[in-house]
Chains A and B, each alone.
Chain A
Amino acid sequence: MEIILAISKIGIYAIFGITILGAIFAVTLRNIFHAALGLVLALLGVAAVYFSMEAEFLGAIQILLYVGGIMTLIIFVVMLTSRIGDRTVPTSNHQRYPALVGILFLIAFLIRLVRETPWQLKAELSTIDAITIGKEFMGAYVLPFEITSLVLVVALIGAIVIARSDLKK
């Protein structure tokens, strides 16, 4: 059984590696469409991490919303950018070094966060299923849930109004 454990460990590290690789592709590739595909890889990798942690509901929602929904939108936006055919458009600008400083601060902060959080280690994974999440949304967190949906509806109507504006001439 140790071998199975070892194999699954290798698998999990492979998923981590692929996720990071996808993220690196997303920020470094010069071809903007390939960068978008790298982002797809990173998002799928995160979903795979959720699946490996037995948080299947979260993983499925990650795929449904991020890969199925948001990535489709991003690719649509990529299509509408000009100079899409040029392969040498750099995706970075001259603020590289200030950004590096900011990222170093962020990494330091994250490391501190990870070290100071009192992690509760349990022998077995305990995950929250979809039914519990739904009941919490309709019970304890009903106000934020409703406000979020209201904001989304307003955004939707706003988008329709903006799209219609040139029709009234």
Chain B
Amino acid sequence: MEIVDQIFVIAKAGIVNWAEALFPDWTVVLISILIPIVAFTIFGPVTMMYLTWLERKLLGRIQNRYGPNRVGKFGLLQPIADGIKMFTKEDIVPEGADKIAHLLAPLLIVVPALLIFAVLPFGRNMIAIDLNIGLLFFLALSSTTTVFIFTAAWGSRNKFSLLGGMRSVAQMVSYEIPFVLSVVPVLLMVGSFSTVQIVEAQQNYHWFLFTPWGVVGFLIFFLCGVAEVNRTPFDLPEAESEIVAGFHTEYSGMKFALFYMAEFMNTFTISALVATVYLGGWQGPGFLPSWGWFLIKTYALIIVMMWFRGTFPRLRVDQLMGFAWKFLLPLSLLNIVIASLWYYLAAPMNYVLGTILLLMGIFLLYGINRPEIPKKRKYRYAYAD
């Protein structure tokens, strides 16, 4: 089990040892830097390809269809066929488009999505770099996506693109705030931004999910994560029934595929981060290797996101904004206060008090935010009596 658990670490050490014997010193340093980079540049796009397959299969099942099943067994070669199709498609650039912005946006949007993989703790000792600001690095990089989406929208010179871009900026700026605030309780408990230390603080099934503030923080973090990657029910920037395809209306071929790649890699990294921060990361019973548990938790969250897509209708713009500013933001602020109370109180008391206060807060916010539904009016004919 130990060997299976550490198989990737051992493999990396093996390659480095082999390089040490053959090459001069400085190449060994370069090789040990390049191994995780190469691993992630392969892992990211391959994950994206098979997430599209998984999504189409699951959505198909939700809609009582089979999904892709022609190319390869269970349609397993479908992503590769799609990839070939994307590469051979004509790359159309609109006449009036801003050529530079139109070209740069899809290339740049993949960069933060790939960089985030560096701070994910895939398993015990399995992390590319244990930055002491890991979580902040993730938050910072995911906030840059807005600029690139906007570049794409503006560069296309298309009103639907621009509308989608503006919606996307408004949405991501709003959801960024509860997104950042919802991890503050965890930072209070752990006292570090490092993703490795966050996982280690949840040893022996003391996952943060099992605390009152953890449940609320998990839900806020996950929902804001879904909103950050523009997935249903928060997919207003690309609402196909209203604004064609939003910010990527004018993109075709591989450029379009790059937007999809960024979106699916962000889906993966956000699910992985939620699993790391609230669900104990790679920790789990010993019969599976640590990276196995990590992937299981991540994929469970991804499947929940796909389930959302198959189930929920899209929110309206005012509902979307109201949900972020009037419900999630006050709730995440309350959650920080409750987490600090929880920290200073003794064991049974803090659970009880935390739960009661949080439930009160949720009901209060729900009550304040309840939309006013006008009473049903009775119509009577003037000549009725």
Contacts and interface: CB of A to CB of B under 8 A. Distances in A.
Interface of A: 1-4, 7, 31, 33-34, 37, 40, 44, 56-57, 60-61, 63-64, 67-69, 71-72, 75-76, 79, 129-131
B136 A72 contact: no
Nearest to A68: B143
15 contacts: A4-B26, A34-B100, A34-B101, A37-B151, A57-B136, A60-B133, A60-B136, A63-B140, A63-B141, A63-B144, A64-B140, A64-B143, A67-B140, A72-B169, A130-B193
Interface in B270-297: none
A60 B146 contact: no
Nearest to B180: A64
A1 B24 CA distance: 9
Given A1-B25, A33-B101, A34-B100, A75 B147 contact: yes
Contacts of B144: 44, 63, 67-68
B139 A67 contact: no
B149 to A, nearest CB: 10
Interface in B144-203: 144, 146-147, 150-151, 154, 162, 166, 169, 173, 176, 191-193
A71 B133 contact: no
Contact of B132 (A31, A34, A40, A129): A129
Given A33-B98, A33-B154, A40 B140 contact: no
A75 to B, nearest CB: 5
Contacts of A130: 132-133, 136, 193
A24 B292 CA distance: 49
Given A4-B29, A33-B101, A34-B100, A60 B169 contact: no
B139 A64 contact: yes
B299 interface: no
Given A63-B143, A64-B140, A131 B191 contact: yes
Contacts of A69: 143, 173
B137 interface: yes
Contact of A68 (B140, B162, B166, B192): B140
Interface of B: 25-26, 29-30, 98, 100-101, 104, 131-133, 136-137, 139-141, 143-144, 146-147, 150-151, 154, 162, 166, 169, 173, 176, 191-193
B164 to A, nearest CB: 13
Contact of A72 (B100, B141, B147): B147
A66 B29 CA distance: 33
Contacts of B151: 37
A56 B131 contact: yes
Contacts of A2: 26
A68 B228 CA distance: 13
A116 to B, nearest CB: 34
Contacts of B191: 131
Contacts of B132: 56, 129-130
Nearest to A2: B26
A117 B328 CA distance: 48
Contacts of A1: 25-26, 29
Contact of B133 (A3, A37, A56, A68): A56
B154 A40 contact: no
Contacts of A7: 30
Residue from A3, A37, A130 having most chain B Cβ neighbours under 10 A: A37
A95 to B, nearest CB: 29
Contacts of A31: 98
Contacts of A57: 133, 136, 193
A72 B150 contact: yes
Contacts of A75: 147, 150, 154, 169
Contacts of A40: 147
A109 B159 CA distance: 48
B140 A60 contact: yes
B166 A37 contact: no
A130 to B, nearest CB: 6
Residue from B101, B132, B166 having most chain A Cβ neighbours under 10 A: B132
A61 B144 CA distance: 12
Given A57-B193, A75-B147, A79-B154, 10 more contacts: A4-B26, A33-B154, A37-B104, A40-B147, A60-B140, A64-B139, A64-B143, A72-B147, A75-B154, A79-B162
A7 to B, nearest CB: 8
A130 B131 CA distance: 12
Nearest to A6: B26
A68 B142 CA distance: 8
8 A-B pairs with the lowest CB-CB distances in the bound complex, closest first: A68-B143, A63-B140, A64-B140, A3-B26, A60-B140, A60-B136, A56-B133, A4-B26
Contacts of B150: 72, 75
A102 B150 CA distance: 35
A76 B166 CA distance: 8
A127 B97 CA distance: 45
Contact of B146 (A56, A61, A72): A72
B52 to A, nearest CB: 27
